[in-house]
Every structure is written in C-alpha cells, then in structure tokens.
Structure 1
Amino acid sequence: MSNLSMYPVTLNGNDIQNKRQEIRDYFHNTFSLFEKVFELLKNDDVFYRKSEITRHPMIFYFGHTATFFVNKLISMKVINERVDANFESVFAVGVDEMSWDDVDSKNYSWPKVDEVREYRTKVRGLVDELIITLPLNLPISQESDMWVILMGIEHERIHIETSLVLHTQMPLEFIKEVDEFKACSHSSAAPKNEMLSIKAQHIELGKEKTHHLYGWDNEYGTYEEDVKEFKTSKYLVSNSEYMEFVKDGGYETEEFWDDEGREFLKDSKAAYPTFWVLENGDYRYRTISKLIEMPLDWPVDVNALEAEAFCRYKSQKDGVIYSLPSEAEYRAIYNQSGLQDLPDFHESRANLNFYHYASSCPVNEFSFNGIYDVVGNVWQWSRTPIRGFEGFEIHPAYDDFSVPTFDDKHALILGSSWASSGNLIMKHSRYAFRKHFPQFAGFRYVISENSNDEEIDIYESDDLVSQYCEFQYGDTHFGVSNFAIECAKIASKFATKKGKALDLGCATGRATYELAKDFDEVEGIDFSVRFVQVGANLKDNGFVAFTSKEEGDLVVNKKVTIEELGYENLRDKVSFWQGDACNLKPNFNSYDLIIATNLIDRLYNPRLFLDTVDERLNEDGVLILTSPYTWQESSTQKELWLGGYVDSNGVEVKTLDSLKNVMSDKFELLHVQDLDFVIKETARKYQHTISQVSIWKKR
C-alpha cells in the first residue's frame, strides 16, 4: 500500500480519544499530501505561473486550502481570530469559472511562497490544536464543530486531485519528478471493447444524514428511478479506441459536436485530447512529469464535450445510438459489479487513492464482476447535470458548494480516478464540472432506452433565495415601495460623485442595477453565492425566475426579464462577486459610494468593518448604512454588538449612538431616516420591518 493512501474518517465509534487521533492522522496525511503535490513545481517562480488562462497562478491554490479552514471556522464561530486577514481574503474564492470568480492577475499582489508556507504551518498548528480540544460527541453530526474540520480536510482532498490536473497542464520544463508520484510503467495493445448487459433495477440514490461517512450537501436526500435493462461498454474508452475518432477527423466534423462543443473547439483550437502531444506526426502522452509513448490501452482523458462527440461519431459509424450513462444507470452498473462502499471496499482492487500508480493504467487491469474500472483509473462523464435530490439542504458552513452548479452546465463525473481519495472515492459522492473542463476523466458508453434527464427547472427552488427574489423583483405590498429601489434613490441623492459604487450585501442584486442608472460602474458583493448568482444570471441570461410561496406546498412561478426591468443597457456597468464584508479583497476600493444594506447587524465583527471601510472610499465618498438593528448571537457574538444592550453602568446602548462614536473621526453624519420594507413569506404572512438609514460622508 502506498504511503500516500489513507482511508477517510468514519463518523461513529465508541472511544473519543481514538477518534480524535484518527482525525488528526487523517488531517496531517491530507495536509502533507497536498504540500507534496506542490513539490512537483520545479522552483518557487513556477508558483506564479498559470497552467491555463482561466485559472489562477498556482500560488492561489497553494494558499487556498489553508485559508478555507480558517474562513469556515470563522464563519461558523468555532474561532474568532484570523491567522492572516490578507491571505484569508486573497486566497478565499476563485476556482470554477463562475462570473464572480476573479482571476484577473492585476487585482492581486501575490505573497512570497515562503510566506504562504509559513502561513500553512500556522494553520496546521491551529487545526491540530482544535482537533485535540474541540468538544466531541460520537457519532459526529453535521451540527458538530468537528464537522467543519472534516469539511476542510475533504475540501483539501478535492484540491489534491485538481491541483495535479493543473500541474499536468503545466509545461514540462516547469515540472520535476517526485518519487511519490511515479506513473504506471506498463502498456500494450488495447483490448477490443464490447457491450455487456446490465439488468433492470429500481435505483435509489441519496443517503441518510446518519450515514457513517462524511458527505457534501448534494449527497443527502432521495431520488428513485426504475432503470430498464441496458448495455454498457466492458472497458473505459481507451486511447486506442479514441484514436480512431481523432484520425477519422472527429474534431473537424461539426455534426459530431453540439453548440457548446463547437464553441469549445472555436475557443480552444483543440484537435485531440488535452494530455496528448503531437510530435513529429506521432501522438505521445503527458503524465504529470513525463512525456511518454502513447499508452494505447490506458483510458483516454477527455472532457464531457469530447466524450459526447465520440458517442455521436460511434453512433453514426455503428448504426446504434450510444450515449454517456446517466447517474442512475451508473449506479445500476455499480450494483451489478458487486462493489461495496468504504470501508468495506479495499482500494487494492482498483486504481484509486494513490494505492497503485500516480497515473492511469491499462483499462483491462481491474475487473469488477466482469466490468472494468467501475471505480478508479479515470472519472467517467455522465449525461446527467448535477441537481439536488428531494430534501436537499445546504450546510450553512459552505452554502455555495453545490447550489451554483445546479445550472444545467455542470455534468456529473462518476467513479473516481487514480488521484481520488477521501470523500471522492465514496459510493455516494457526487461531483460535477463544466463540460469543457479537463480532469482526470474519461468515459464509457451505453446503449439505453432509458429516458434522458429532464430539462432543469429554471425556477429558483431555494426558499430563502426565492423569498429575496420576491422581495427585490416581485410585487410591492401594503403601499410600501420596493426597498432596493428606494435605497438606490437615496444613494443617488446624497452621492456627490457618480463614478464607482459598491452595493455591499447586495443579495439578489436589484439595487446594484438601480444604482447603475446613475453610476458609471457598480459592483455587487454578497457573502452568499446563492444570492450573487441571481444578479449574475440576470446579467448573463437576461432573467430572474423564482417561486413565490402561497400556502403550504403551493407556489406561483414568477419570471422577470432584464428588458421588463429596463436594465438591458446596464449589463456592462454591473458585476457581481462573492465576498466577506469584514475581509474584502484589496482590489475592492476607490468607490464614490458604498451602501451596506441591512448588513451591519449580520456581520461577525461589525466594528472591524467600520474601522476599515473608509479605506475603500474616495475623497468625499459617501457611506450608507441601513439596518433594523436586529442583533442576534447567531450572527454576532454579543460582546461585538454595537447596540441593543445595557452596558456595565446600566446605560442602554443604541446602535446609532455607537455608530456616531465609532465613525466620528473619519465620517460626517449627513442624514438619518427610517425606511420601511415588506418581505412576503406566504400569501397571508409578511414581515413588515423598519430599517434605519444613516448617511455618512468621508472627512
């Protein structure tokens, strides 16, 4: 067994001290393995190179996984002090080509590699101490502080694999060999693929919250489907089998590609898979650190668009309709193979968890009841876009893990690869990527009469996000004007300059667009991507669609277009980003206006925000705070409240008085007023709230 391998932690047990040690061992193995991956970079200068234009330089990923621990521990109030606020802002987000992922290098001043190494050492010590000292009950539940630690570990396991993908895209001149990452050394002629029958089955997907292994939010819930008998390829598609497609002009034949595929070909100029290299008329293969003769019997690494194009090609060639398997069909294959979930399944039977190789291996090496590579070797693309199961609930520590991918643009990958470990190799794991993404992923094909997955429902199903969509884009009630519009009107009245504005706590983005009517540029920032993506979707796709609750399970579907809102000419003036108001990236600056909407009483450290917000304003810039001052310990520790309490002298402390005391040196108070807003919960239940608006001018 490779010294890189390690089983995931189980959540149950009887001995708390043994469980702490198990978690410690798993944490340190993960943290060290991640750092070992970065030893592949030839020198520290390479950390500042990008593997491809849509990604950050490698220094970002090196720091990202450590800052993830701190940011999640802060947000869940497990800790209340940061290790390095700058790092925990700069390395926070930006890994998945979302419109709110900022990969523009000019917006970053990257630290030295040794500084990040030192930071990682500090975080390692912090997490190690927490594992030893945090309260712990068994089994570990999603409400446990230790769950956040496990979340950080499994998050880093994901980045072990995705970082290896990026390293394999880095030019070889910048990569060195590392003993622990040796590729498979054998290859021969590829076996001829054939079709095997998979029996009809009733498939049940999803798992209970009491499951004994850690899970991401999208794994929980229920989904059932009756899968008819179908046929699947015995082997993953090999480099040899895919070579026929390449040599037959597959990349030049438009009919094999859908619209997204043709766009991919146009943008990438691809003529063969990412890890193939054409050299003197022959194709060779790129492992992490070497260029080798084409291993014809290894599985091909392709993106989903390439896999789909191959299926269309083979369908035309054979006169039979081939497709990628659905998620339910893959589970039927899994069931027929006799596989068991961890820890009952041992990785010696498959090429995963770094147990055998640091590369793929022949497609006929690992059999599961006659079906090869059901798990391991490379991930397998499916035809199923990822969605939440019935009963899906986000975990509050990571509300943007899954929801942003429920967009019909992220296809599920199934089965794990040689570089997968931890949660990635569990039976119930569900991961998805955009179809043009390169991963250690290939495919098998099926002949199936099972229906294709239904089109995604365009209507926002997240209750809280839908409620805010109704609040910002829906009807007004009881004669109370739209709050976002009114806030924008007040802002435009008091701002003396109309250059750049920041809508902080922008929620679903209505005020961001309203401000853009008067300002040259407006940035909307919210802590939750679930909210940010609504405004971004309005910009990118031209509509907001949501469900408005009537009573019980009865809802009304609503849709409003960018033309109906009158914002069609404002697209280029607005942008949306995920961010922490208490720890924004340095590039968010030089504003003539900052409006923090109903935000101050929801921050984990409001004083920290107030002490630094002036640095982001231009001279004579205006800051607008709106808040109903609903102080709650679930959002802000009581000792950090700005008002709503009686001090040690028996004096009632009001928030506005505290704001005056805190801000008087840097700001002049221009105006205070009340502003009502109404939020619909159901057709017969509404929240009517009065927010206080205070307007401050930078001295």
Structure 2
Amino acid sequence: MYPVTLDGQSIAKKREEIRAYFHNTFDLFEKVFELLKDESVFYKKSEPTRHPMIFYFGHTATFFVNKLINMKIINERINPEFESIFAVGVDEMSWDDMQEGHYKWPEVSEVRAYRNAVRTLVDELIIHLDFTLPIRDDSSMWIILMSIEHERIHIETSLVLHRQMPIEFIKEVPEFNLCKHSSDAPQNEMIAISGGEVTLGKDKTHNLYGWDNEYGDYSEVVEDYQVSKYLVSNGEFMEFVNESGYEREEFWDEEGLEFLKKSQVKYPHFWVKEETTFKYRALSKIIDMPLDWPVDVNALEAEAFCRYKSRKESRHYTLPSEAEYELVYQHSNLKDVPELHESRANINFYHYASSCPVDEFSFNGIYDVIGNVWQWSRTPIRGFKGFEAHEAYDDFSIPTFDEKHALILGSSWASSGNLIMKHSRYAFRKHFFQNAGFRYVITTNTQHKSEDIYETDELISQYCEFQYGDTHFGVENFAVSCAKIADKYAHNKTKALDLGCATGRASYELAKTFDEVEGLDFSVRFVSVGSKLKEEGYIAFSSKEEGELTVNKKVSLQDLGYEKLAHKVSFWQGDACNLKPNFNSYDLIMATNLIDRLYNPRLFLDTVDARLNDDGILMLTSPYTWQESSTKKEFWLGGYKDGNGNEVKTIECLKSILDAKFDLLHVEDLEFVIKETARKYQHTISQVSVWKKR
C-alpha cells in the first residue's frame, strides 16, 4: 500500500484510509516474521551487533504506545516492561544497550498478545481521535502516521536481518515470491546528464507524510556529469572479486580497511562460496548466481569498486551525490506520485520479494532510478536549512547528522510507504547491509566535507553554552554546583545516576568523586553531546549572538580536565517514568530540573526508591515551572489551588510523597543563568531538595 495523503476526502473517509493503511502495515510486518522457521529463531541474532529478532517483533508495537504516551495522547501504558525493553533499537551508537544481561526476553506468545492489544488500541484511536484536514505535524493523527511509517521501515530492515540469518533458520512464505529469471549481465554504459541548479527539500504544505529531515531547503549548482545506465550487477562486480579487489588495500579507505579487518570478507555478504563458484542468498533460499541482478553491498564495498574501476580505466568513478541523483530523477520524468511508479518499478513487493535483472525497468533510458535495490550515495545525511526535529521523535534524524551516515537513494523491492517517496531521506552507516547496491557517476562535482561538526540546533546549542560555555553575572555553572551539593550529601560513591543529564556536564563532574556515573536523558539530541565528548574528545557548538549571528565554540576533555575520568561515564537514552530494570543499585540519583518536565512525575517518585541502595541519596532540582505542554494538569505536583482554594506548593507535595521512604536532609535555592543571545539571558532559581533513603 501507498502512504496516506494528508488532505482531500472527508474526515470519515480519511479515517478509513488510515485504518486500512494501519492494518495492512501491521499485517505485513507480522507476515515478515513468518519467515522464521520456529519460535526458537526469535531469540537468535542475525549478526552480533543487533538484538535478537524478538526485540524487533516487539519494537514497532511499543513505538506506538511510547509515542502516544510521550505526546500525552494516552495516559496509560499497556505493558510498561515491554515498553521499556523494546523501546530503543540499535545503530551502533554508544548509548545503544547491547548487554544481554540487561534483557529478559518474553515468550513469543506474550509479544503476539501484546501486539494484538496495541492493534486494538490504535484502531480505536484512529476511529475516535479528533483531527482536521489537512493533517499536519502538530496533529495527534500525525503520531499515528509516524508510527505506521516507522513500522514500514522495520518491515524492510527486518527482511534484511532475516536474510542474514543462516538459511536453516528460514522457511519459505508463499507471499514472498522471488524473481525467477536471470541471464548474463548487460554491459553497463554511461549516460550524460545536464547540470543545473538543484533545490532539495519540501515545505510543511506537502500532501504526504514526511520525516523531519525532509523539510527545509538546500540548493546546489551541479555541473554536467555522466551516470551509469544500470545498477552495478553481480556480473559486473564479479570482475572486482576475481581480481582480488577485497585483498588490495589501495582500493579501500581507512574505514573500509577496518571493515575488512573485522569481517575478513573476500566477496559480497549475500554471495555464497561453493568450491569454485558463487551462489546467491535470496530471502528464503540459496539460488544460482543471478549475474544480471544488482549486487548487494555496503557503501564501503561500493566505494572500493569505484576506486578499482577508476584505476583500471584511468577515469574518476564515484558514487552519486544526493543532488546528482535529483537530476537523474528529473531526467527520468518521475513524479512524486507513487501510483505512476507502481507497474514499472520493482518496489512495494509489487513484482517480487527479491531483486530482478538490472535491465528490466527503464526510466527514460536509465534503469532502476527507483526500486530493485537502494543506491548508496557519497553524501552524508545533513539537515536542510530550516531543519527542526519533530518533538515526538527527535532521535530519528539528529544522531545520523555525524558525517558517518551515508544517504541511500531510490528505494528497493521491499520499500513501501514513505520509503518510495521522492523526498524520503534515509541514511545508514557505511558498513551496514541493507537491500542496497549502487550505480556510479563520472563527475567533477565535489562533496563538501566538514572537519568539525558544529551543533546548530538552537536548543542543544543553548544547553551546550549553558553547561560548557562561559559563566555570567557571577553565577557558578549550574552543573558544577549541583555536583558539589550531591558530593556533599552522598557518603557512598560507587555509582551515580545523572537523570535528565542534558548535554552531560554534571555527569563528568560527578565522576570526579564517583567510581561510575550513568547520564540518562529522554532526548538523544542531548545524550549525543555528552557521548561525543567522551568518544571524540571534544564538542563543537554555535552560540547565538544576535539575529542570525553566531560564534562557534569548541571544548575538549582536556580543556575541562576530564580526560582521566571520562572512562567512568556512560550515557543512555531513557524515560525516567519507565526505566529499564538494569538502571538500579545507585548511591546517588540526581534528577536535575526534571520533575516539572515529566508526563507523570508521581510515577517516577513512587518507584525511584527501588533503584537506590540503602542510605542512597535522591537529589531533586526544579524551578517548578509547571506547564501543560509538559505535564497534564491532573499530574502536577504543585502550582495550583485545591478544591478548597488552598495553594498547593511542590515542596510540600514532595514531602507527602517521599516521606514514607525518605528523610529530607536539605533544601536550598540554587540560581542559574542560560544565555539566549549576547544581550538576553534567562535567570532562574531552582529549588534543591536532598533526600536519604531509609
């Protein structure tokens, strides 16, 4: 099925369109997992850097609930444990939790029952949620669409993981039919493409769902260039393999050589060596090598092939850029209306559940402009001008803006929904495997490379300045002050949790006296800053001066004096109201300016004692800025009058909640200053309360 349009029709018809799209997506996702031979395979990993398949089976359903909770569309969870352990996937980020001891996977039947409960919940919401047309990104129905499109992504990525499973763990499913024809690979050739000014991006009036990285604008002047007529086929790539391309270091860059060292591969991942010949691993069977199907490789292999071909032919071949691909798209007369693509592209399972010959689907003389396999580009994904992270899923794009995630272009046989749209932008690490291959270009257009990646997100930059920048008006750095107070009252200093750690400064400060510190924040946008400081030794950010004027700043571990203690600090993404079980046994939990930002602060306070050791310290700081955009008023812990007209103060409410399990040791006011511009600052007073667990 194709994506839901955001406008047109009546509300009633739109509801039915969304319901049909939702159930089709849910059904197709579950059909993918029928490929697993039996339930024992759900607990196997297709490769070491991923979770077992049971995680992915539960993940897409918990995504619906977690986003609906976070956006305050629903108030109650279905299964808090599942919605914790299945919450965060894996992109080889430092905050991805891959320690098996932290997970106790449930039975497959339990996850199926959970998925059914989620299906019922979402179906009811689609029927009853109020919304207007056109649907925009501030609509509750947008969160439903976001969750559906998220599951569409996992339909494809789960198929890749299943394809990576040993064949004995996979069975054939009739609905996933393979292409049954192949022959010799066609001779590739170059097609001339006229250059011009390219504008990328779309605005919020676009009539189809989009991820946050698709919005905004970017312009680039592209010179004339040439593009290959076909995707690189297995037959064309075979020459590289036969000439020991995987063993010749001159064809591989530093990252590529590291990939070769770790993997010890000599040929593509989905090729199967049998004596002197190669077979091909399709989704559910091993077949004779289809020489005219596109080769499935990662970006590092694609780049190595381009260097090999350049050396051999004394011409400069490389992968296309995002802007060059846009000109190919225009040359092909493709429109961003998927119905026109349906019958003449290998997408959306329309023809096959596999690749097919590279000379089967022509687009004005260039084949597979969309479909068959994704095409690696040489462009790292970056936000367009005007980029804004969507608050419901702020970790979809921002963690990939690291110059390490390359854009994939054009969709594959397994792509559907937003994945087949012209404006869709997806990116993966270069060593990842997807349903992805490549085509090459001959070009003089250069790719801009960034030495330092300056954080330009206004909120994150502001917090970087707040935690790592200058002090103002004689007020000490707030993170440093908080760590000092925590150190004073925590007598046992084995392990601390910096909850609501933001960009991580207090986590490092606590590490001066604690043996181990975990910094945790709901937002990956924040977590990634502290993590980058640890992993790369520096952070760089833009501090706003006035209007559009900014000053770039860079701070290193050495500047801060943290180089010898960074190993004691780790950073994680998590929900303070629904933490994973492994976040426990702390001597200190410091929740900084967090209470009045939680969707259910009472839930956090009622359970936090279980995560502290005996005599452990709970330290809360907050300016008590209660607002319904963060916390529904029914969950406020203060800042209102009760039914008798009496004022309810937060500190008194905290005492009534915590008194049964904690002794109140200390209360003080602590001021902090946040710079907005060179001449505008926020001066705030936070109340600190320190509690000792009985």
Normalised by the size of structure 1, how large is the TM-score?
Answer: 0.99
Equivalent position of 2:53 in the other structure: 58
> What letter corresponds to residue 423 of structure 2 in structure 1?
H
2:290 aligns with one of 271, 288, 295: 295
1:77 aligns with 2:100: no
Q: Does 1:523 align with 2:515?
A: no
State the partner residue of 1:94: 89
Q: Matches of 2:416 and 2:503 in 1, distance apart? A: 36
SS in 2 for 1:333: helix
Please give the residue correspondences for 1:455-466 in structure 2 after superposition, counting only pairs within 5 Å: 455=450, 458-466=453-461
The separation in 2 between residues aligned to 1:456 and 1:211, in whole angstroms, is 34
Q: Secondary structure at the match of 2:686?
A: strand
2:341 paired with 1:353: no
1:218 counterpart = 2:213: yes
Runs of 4+ displaced beyond 4 Å: none
Q: Confirm or deny: 8 A CA contact 1:408 1:456 kept in the other structure.
A: no
Q: Which residue of 1 aligns with 2:201?
A: 206
State how far apart, in whole Å, the 2-side matches of 1:106 and 1:287 are: 33
Q: Matched residue of 1:25: which SS?
A: helix
Give the secondary structure class of the aligned counterpart of 2:340.
Answer: coil
Task: Give me the whole-angstrom Cα distance separating, in 2, the residues matched to 1:106 and 1:294.
Answer: 41
* Matching of residues 401-420 of structure 1 within 5 Å: 401-420=396-415
Amino acid at match of 1:430: R
> How far, CA to CA, are the matches of 1:383 and 1:7 in structure 2?
28
2:682 is equivalent to residue 691 of structure 1: no
Q: What is the CA–CA distance in structure 2 between the aligned matches of 1:175 and 1:526, rounded to whole Å?
A: 38
1:378-398 deviations in whole A, cap 9, x for unaligned? 000000000011111111111
Kept after mapping to 2: 8 A contact 1:172/1:290: yes
Task: Write the letter of the residue equivalent to 1:477.
Answer: H
Shift, 1:346, TM fit = 2.9
Local SS of the residue matching 1:218: helix
Greater displacement, 509-518 / 197-206 = 197-206
Aligned partner of residue 251 in structure 1, secondary structure: helix
> 2:168 corresponds to which letter in structure 1?
E
Do the aligned residues in 1 keep the contact of 2:452 with 2:540 (CA within 8 Å)? Answer: no
CA distance in 2, matches of 1:52, 1:652: 57
Aligned to 2:577, which of 582, 587, 591? 582
Counterpart residue identity of residue 336, structure 1: H
Q: Contact 1:410–1:432 (CA<8 Å) still a contact in 2?
A: yes
Measured in 1, the distance between the counterparts of 2:451 and 2:65 equals 35
Q: Are 1:483 and 2:478 an aligned pair?
A: yes
Q: 1:533 is matched with which residue? A: 528
Distance 2:481 2:388 in 1: 33
Is 1:113 the equivalent of 2:112? no
User: Could you give the per-residue CA deviations for residues 130-172 of structure 1, whole angstroms, max 9, x where no partner exists?
Assistant: 1010012111111111000000000000000000000000111
Q: For the Cα contact (< 8 Å) 1:9–1:26, is it kept in 2? A: yes
- Using the alignment, how far apart are the partners of 2:667 and 2:192 within structure 1? 73
Correspondences of 1:519-668 after superposition (within 5 Å):
519-668=514-663
Residues 526-556 of structure 1: per-residue CA shift (max 9 Å, x gap): 0000000000000000001111111111111
The offset of 1:518, in angstroms, is 0.6
CA contact (8 A) 1:301 1:442 kept: yes
**Matching residue's letter, 1:584:** L
Deviations 1:641-662 (A, max 9, x none): 1111110111111111001100
Q: CA deviation at 1:417?
A: 0.4
One of 261, 266, 274 as aligned partner of 2:261: 266
What is the distance in 1 between the residues matched to 2:163 and 2:566?
Answer: 37
Partner residue in 2 for 1:122: 117
Question: Which of 1, 18, 24 is the matching residue for 2:19?
Answer: 24
Q: Residue type matched to 2:424 in 1?
A: S
- C-alpha RMSD over aligned residues: 0.8
Q: How does 1:6-25 map to 2 (within 5 A)?
A: 6-25=1-20
Cα deviation for residue 181 of structure 1 reads 0.9
User: Is residue 646–residue 653 contact of structure 1 (8 Å, CA) maintained in 2?
Assistant: yes
**1:245–1:310 Cα contact (<8 Å) kept:** yes
User: Where does structure 1 lack aligned partners over 5 or more consecutive residues?
Assistant: 1-5
Correspondences of 1:189-200 after superposition (within 5 Å)? 189-200=184-195
Partner residue of 1:3?
Answer: none
Local SS of the residue matching 2:245 = coil
How big is the shift at 1:456? 6.0
Q: Percent identity?
A: 74
- Displacement of 1:279 in angstroms is 1.4
Question: 1:95 and 1:418 mapped to 2: Cα distance?
Answer: 23
Amino acid at match of 1:497: N
Do the aligned residues in 2 keep the contact of 1:256 with 1:313 (CA within 8 Å)? yes
Distance 1:181 1:97 in 2: 30
Matched, 1:305 2:300: yes
Q: In the aligned structure 2, how far is the partner of 1:140 from the partner of 1:645?
A: 34
Per-residue deviation, residues 360-388 of structure 1 (Å, max 9, x unmatched):
00000000011000000000000000001
1:639 Cα offset (Å): 1.0
Q: Which string of whole-angstrom CA distances, capped at 9 and with x for unpartnered residues, describes residues 234-283 of structure 1? A: 00000011111011011111110000000111111111111111112211
Residue 510 (1) aligns with residue 505 (2): yes
Q: Deviations over 1:102-126 (max 9, x none)?
A: 1211110111111000000000000
Q: Secondary structure at the match of 1:55?
A: coil
Q: Does structure 2 conserve the Cα–Cα contact (< 8 Å) formed by 1:626 and 1:694?
A: yes
Unmatched 5+ residue regions in structure 2? none
Q: Which amino acid aligns with 2:91?
A: D
Q: How many angstroms apart in 2 are the aligned matches of 1:285 and 1:394?
A: 40
- TM-score (normalizing by structure 2): 0.99
**Partner Cα separation in structure 2 for residue 94 and residue 501 of structure 1:** 25
Q: Residue 181 of structure 1 contacts residue 358 of structure 1 at CA under 8 Å; is this kept in 2?
A: yes
Q: Which amino acid aligns with 1:100?
A: W
Aligned to 1:375: 370
